[in-house]
A and B are shown apart, each in its own frame.
Chain A
Amino acid sequence: MRNAWVTLSLLLAASSAAAQPPRYDDDPFGDADFKDAPLILDVSYPTRGRGQLSLLFTSSVIDKYTTHLGGTLQLDYHFTRTLGAALAVGFLHGQLTNIVTDDAGIIGNKMRGQNGCVNNPANCANINPNVPDYNQITGVIDALAVWSPLYGKINVVSEIDVNLQAFVLGGLGANGTRRVEATAKPNPRAANDYTLSGGEFFAGGFMSDPKFHFTIGVGLQVFFAHFIALRVETRGILFPDTFDFGAGDETYLSQYWFFQAGLGFILF
């Protein structure tokens, strides 16, 4: 009898163990990583038909005589997987660089130089810099073509599906310009005895003294969620301008380069 109970107990234990055999799960995390198409081929943010509104902080780079800060609002729509169009409106506030305003800078030398305003009051009538690319950009309106041939993903944290898209853009537009004027104070004694006018915030308005320009740029978008993307890019505004290099007014290509970063909101 004892043998029978021992045998029965062993059999029950064996049955209990055998009731939970190893299970094989080809999707242990329930995220379809192994079942469906590779995630790299899953375009989480399809380009075609996508409408996006971007708000970008804008800062000039490689500054010569003027530095700019401002913002840009851009509406993008993609007609195909790689091609789209965009409308951009921007506003910039310019400031003269220290190459112009330092005591040893252009205006400083016109003030205290050997033949400057301080030593020779007859030269106080014009202490403005006589250099090209001196205009400051105010408002910008652009119509752009956007080409986005590169779409990809990146491992940031495992299983977080971060998507990237690189793009280049080019187009035509118009921008307002303004010019900061330097005026010597009465009876100047020092290099900084002058005042600047025309450089105040919103001085020159949005589109005064407009120039037609070409715009080129290259950038990258990082999609973090279904409605938002981080966007960084560099953009150049190039327009023909005139300047007297010594033989009368000559046309030259004025160039301003900007770094832009901000958020893109996917509208549809």
Chain B
Amino acid sequence: MSTPRLVALTALLSLPAAPLWAQADEPAAPPTPVEPAVAPAPAAPVEEALEQDESIYVVQRRVYSKKGAFELTPLFYTSLNNKFVGHFGLGLAAAYHVRENLALELQSSVPYVGDRFFSALVYEVYQQEQLTPEAVDLKQMDYFGGLSVLFSALYGKMELYSWLIDYDFFVTAGVGFVSTIETCVPERGDCSEEVGGTGQGIGRGVHSPEEAGDRFKLSGNLGGGMRFFFSDRLGLRLEIRDVVYSDRAVESNEVTTDIRNNVLFFLGLSVLL
């Protein structure tokens, strides 16, 4: 083959290849996704896009990110299972979000804020049947606090009349301690015959147990709830938590024991710092 023919053939073969090379060199126009949060890389081949976008979530564009953030939550709480005694009051929770779905939280009730009471059942059986529950059942929790782990694997969005609200579900478990008070025994300890008057304590009032061991005890807590975030800083928190501990009471030389389950409902205002 002569040199001019070779050059001509080379030029001819190069013609179709040239635009293809040019196409490969020029960046493609990026797609215009509706949800750009997980849009494919503009200049990546399909295989690369598949690797990068292995998970495409139903709910995208989280309004808030918790990872590395502190969360402070003032709480109102009230007990739900008021079989013999009930509680309500204020609490405070401080959490550090180690990961987006994992947090460590310190929680405490605010001492002396709130109230404890006997349920209607206690008064009914006392007034109608002249009976009282066992002494340990009448003990009231006047403080609780603890350290918990919060795990929130599920998150989503809700629409409230065209207003999108981010939320997540969480479960929580931890340990802590509680303080309890007991009903008075007349003329024993700091209780006199006249203490209490009618009503509270079935006419006898309540006081701290003389034995400190009957007042403070270790507790476990287990619960779950939801957080609704209205902005990237503020949210509403709903939670149900069971504070469980072993309790005992001594009355008239009779010792009664029980595993106490205080199921508390919490309503709080979460602030991400």
A202 within 8 A of B: no
Interface residues on B, range: 35 or more
**Least distance between A141 CB and chain B CB atoms (Å):** 27
Q: Which of A18, A41, A63 contacts B17 (CB 8 A)?
A: A18
Per the bound structure, the CA–CA distance linking A41 and B21 in Å amounts to: 42
**Least distance between B29 CB and chain A CB atoms (Å):** 8
B56 within 8 A of A: yes
Specify which chain A residues have a CB less than 8 angstroms from the CB of B40 in the assembled complex: 24-26, 28, 34
B135 within 8 A of A: no
Asked whether A28 lies within 8 Å of B81 as measured between CB atoms, the reply is no
Q: Which of B142-179 contact A (CB under 8 A)?
A: 154-161, 164-165, 167, 169
> Which chain A residue lies CB-closest to B42?
A24
Q: Which of B57, B120, B129, B169 contacts A130 (CB 8 A)?
A: B129
A149-B160, A152-B159 known; A131 and B128 CB under 8 Å? yes
Q: Which of B35, B46, B164 contacts A25 (CB 8 A)?
A: B46
Asked whether B164 lies within 8 Å of A35 as measured between CB atoms, the reply is no
B194 within 8 A of A: no
A109 within 8 A of B: yes
Specify which chain A residues have a CB less than 8 angstroms from the CB of B45 in the assembled complex: 22-23
B115 within 8 A of A: no
> Which chain A residue lies CB-closest to B81?
A62
Q: Which of B24-62 contact A (CB under 8 A)?
A: 24, 28-29, 31-35, 38-40, 42-46, 49-50, 53, 55-61
A18-B20, A37-B34 known; A152 and B131 CB under 8 Å? no
Specify which chain A residues have a CB less than 8 angstroms from the CB of B57 in the assembled complex: 155, 158-159
Asked whether B129 lies within 8 Å of A152 as measured between CB atoms, the reply is no
- A contacts with B: majority SS: loop
Further 16 A-B residue pairs, CB within 8 A, beyond A15-B17, A245-B128: A21-B23, A25-B46, A28-B49, A31-B56, A34-B40, A36-B34, A39-B58, A62-B82, A62-B83, A106-B131, A132-B124, A151-B158, A154-B58, A155-B156, A158-B55, A164-B156
**Least distance between B258 CB and chain A CB atoms (Å):** 13
Q: Can you list 13 A-B pairs, Cβ within 8 angstroms, ordered by A?
A: A14-B21, A21-B23, A25-B49, A28-B40, A34-B31, A62-B81, A62-B83, A131-B125, A149-B161, A153-B156, A155-B59, A155-B156, A245-B127
B98 within 8 A of A: no
